[in-house]
């Protein structure tokens, strides 16, 4: 019996099984997967058999992306390193923190922590009984003193946003080990092409893959990397919370990995040129970039980071307070006032009204952030053109 036209339209022949490995990552744009039997379905859901059932749970394309990031982050680490993919950097951060805390738990976090993470801790997790201490992470004694019996997580940022403070990863790791904590590091600003925190004692590394990993401002995603034991806990929380990375986004982010070292080396070299020029400009009160010998963490950056790569963010502070910072952004002609960072285009944002808008003036002061601070994400343009744009904007203030 020949099936009807609607049946034939729905039940097309199976796609060919590949004998060769494609150089481009295949995109498995399917929400659900078919099984050969009901028992296979049951075995897969129970964990008795590996495979794919539903793309909110796992997907071959997103797994390929996660495994690729784990391979980059896990260099030089004893033991197996695996990763979990997420729909955004904040999905990765929130899921990791939810997996590692509970009602009554306590977290130690940098004072200048990213505003999204600050908001998660102070307006979401606090409602479920998780408390947070915001401390100066450059003062290891202060970090050690902040740890309580109920502390479960020590959280740091490889490069802090926007002060570019460098985390003393080995020192913080030692404190974490002493206290039996899980040491989580947000390494978005560094990427694996600058620093790999697992090499220096971190237990979990999180990224907003939207930034340097993707690299082209055309995809959104996140990733968490760590031991199989920790990532099993994180995966369970990811499935329950639903923040899964889509396969099309995973394809774009995976594509970005191939050029990550090339792009980041260029980003970092140009950022150092911009930082040095701004450091000499009379209209700038302060420049934050660890590539400058005057930066307080320059020696630590040289120790922890790949040679010549100090990150691609330069934060400058003009005189005049909040209004001056906003005016500086508006006077730029080449550098775009735009959301996010990394990508091919240089971007600028006024810190107090964007990335750290969740912090009031007292919290900004405690984090060492001036209300006039302007964060520059240095792209792939010629650095001389970026310097010229900044100089004309500063000269007109």
- Look at the alpha carbons of 51, 52, 58, 61 in this order and tell me if their dihedral is positive or negative: positive
**C-alpha to C-alpha distance for 5 and 10, rounded to whole angstroms:** 9
Tell me the C-alpha distance between 95 and 5, whole Å: 46
- Catalytic residue IDs: 56, 114, 186, 211
Residue 108 backbone class (left: φ over 0; alpha: ψ -120 to 50; beta: rest): beta
Domain with CATH 3.40.640.10 in the chain: 38-257
Domain ranges in the chain with CATH number 3.90.1150.10: 260-395
The CATH-assigned architecture of domain 260-395 is: Alpha-Beta Complex (3.90)
**pLDDT the model gives residue 354:** 87
> Residue 397: which pLDDT band, with cuts at 50, 70 and 90?
confident
Q: What is the CATH number of domain 38-257?
A: 3.40.640.10
Q: What would the pLDDT profile of 299-330 be if each residue is shown by its tens digit?
A: 999 999 999 999 999 999 999 999 999 999 99
Residues of the chain with pLDDT > 70, as a percent, come to 100
- Write out pLDDT tens, residues 128-172: 999 999 999 999 999 999 999 999 999 999 999 888 999 999 999
Strand ranges in the chain using DSSP code E only, listed in sequence order? 82-86, 106-110, 131-135, 151-157, 182-186, 204-208, 222-226, 286-288, 313-317, 336-337, 347-350, 374-377
């Amino acid at each position: 019996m020949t099936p009807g036209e609607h049946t034939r339209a729905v039940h097309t022949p199976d796609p060919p099984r590949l004998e060769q490995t494609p150089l481009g990552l295949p995109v498995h744009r399917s929400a659900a997967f078919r099984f050969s039997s009901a028992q296979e379905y049951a075995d897969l859901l129970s964990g008795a058999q590996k495979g794919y059932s539903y793309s909110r749970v796992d997907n071959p394309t997103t797994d390929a992306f996660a495994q690729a990031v784990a391979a980059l982050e896990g260099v030089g680490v004893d033991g197996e390193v695996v990763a979990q993919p997420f729909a955004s950097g904040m999905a990765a951060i929130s899921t990791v923190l939810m997996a590692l805390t509970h009602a009554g738990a306590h977290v130690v976090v940098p004072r200048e922590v990213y505003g999204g993470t600050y908001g998660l801790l102070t307006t979401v997790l606090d409602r479920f009984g998780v408390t947070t201490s915001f401390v100066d992470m450059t003062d290891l004694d202060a970090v050690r003193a902040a740890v309580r019996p109920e502390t479960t997580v020590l959280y740091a940022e490889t490069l802090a946003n926007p002060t570019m403070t460098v985390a003393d990863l080995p020192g913080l790791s030692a404190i974490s080990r002493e206290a039996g904590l899980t040491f989580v590091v947000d390494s978005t600003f560094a990427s694996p092409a600058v620093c790999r925190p697992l090499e220096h004692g971190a237990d979990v590394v999180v990224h907003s893959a939207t930034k340097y990993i993707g690299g082209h401002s055309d995809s959104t995603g996140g990733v968490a990397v760590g031991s199989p034991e920790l990532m099993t806990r994180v995966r369970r929380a990811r499935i329950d919370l639903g923040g899964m990375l889509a396969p099309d986004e995973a394809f774009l982010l995976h594509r970005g990995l191939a050029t990550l070292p090339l792009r980041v080396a260029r980003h970092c070299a140009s950022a150092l040129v911009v930082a040095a020029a701004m450091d000499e400009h009379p209209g700038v009160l302060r420049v934050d970039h660890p590539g400058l010998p005057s930066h307080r963490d320059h020696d630590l950056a040289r120790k922890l980071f790949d040679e010549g790569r100090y990150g691609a963010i330069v934060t400058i502070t003009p005189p005049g307070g909040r209004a001056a910072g906003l005016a500086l952004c508006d006077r730029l002609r080449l550098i775009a006032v735009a959301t996010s960072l990394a990508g091919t285009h240089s971007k600028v944002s006024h810190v107090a009204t964007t990335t750290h808008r969740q912090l009031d003036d007292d919290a900004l002061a405690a984090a060492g952030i001036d209300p006039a601070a302007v964060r520059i994400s240095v792209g792939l343009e010629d650095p001389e053109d970026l310097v010229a744009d900044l100089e004309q904007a500063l000269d007109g203030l």
